[in-house]
């Protein structure tokens, strides 16, 4: 099980999303929630997944100076696209 695999790790869920928190609970993982405010700016040339990947990395980078060896930070980002289908 996942809980056994990560028993010696401190999982930090860097998300205020109730759905993500519920998912971690359903997986049986012990975790803490810690959200840091970041400026969600990205280059205008980025496309879809480049945006979410970049923002998730920014969220993780906000923790880099305070992590212990057994810490795992999990971040995520989503975007809503409004595309016209021709």
Q: Which of 8, 65, 71, 77 is catalytic?
A: 77
Are the C-beta atoms of 21 and 15 separated by less than 8 Å?
yes
3-state secondary structure of 22: helix
Residue 77 appears among annotated catalytic residues: yes
For the stretch 16-24, contacts whose Cβ atoms lie closer than 8 Å and that sit 24 or more positions apart, written own/partner, are 17/76, 20/76
Active-site residues, by number, are 77
């Amino acid at each position: 099980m996942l809980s056994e695999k990560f028993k010696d790790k401190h999982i930090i869920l860097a998300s205020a999303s109730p759905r993500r928190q519920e998912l971690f609970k359903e997986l049986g993982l012990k975790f803490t929630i810690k959200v840091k405010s970041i400026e969600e700016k990205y280059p205008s040339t980025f496309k879809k997944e480049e945006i979410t990947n970049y923002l998730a990395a920014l969220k993780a980078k906000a923790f880099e100076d305070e992590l212990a060896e057994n810490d795992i930070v999990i971040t995520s980002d989503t975007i809503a696209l409004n595309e016209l289908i021709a």
